[in-house]
Amino acid sequence: MKEMDILEIITKAGEAKNGYLQAIQEAKAGNYEACNEYVRNGNEAYAKAHRIHMEMVQQEAGGNRVELSILFTHAQDQLMNAEILKTLCDEFIDLYRRLEEMQA
């Protein structure tokens, strides 16, 4: 496990979280085109972080022990938070759309 890979997970997970939070704000303002762009960017960043993480999981499954560290634990935490935020983002966008429809 390389520190640069771990840092990349942290960076990309952070980008994903930021994208999802921005998407929620755009949905709140009714700007769904911008909202969709932020979700797309968040999804791309999340996919990159997840891909690196899965490579590490596959290494360990293949018998190459992955050393745990505080940094790796932080990376996993950031990745899980991005995943949770993605789920909440989708729900908030749906709620804002429904509210907008009800007010029309």
Q: Which residues are catalytic?
A: 74
The answer to whether the CB of 33 falls within 8 A of the CB of 84 is: no
Q: Residue 77, annotated ligand binder?
A: yes
Upper half-sphere CA count for residue 7 (Cβ side, 13 Å): 3
Counting DSSP H helices and E strands in the chain, the numbers are 3, 0
Among 60, 45, 42, residue whose Cα is nearest residue 8:
45
Binding residues for Mg(2+): 77
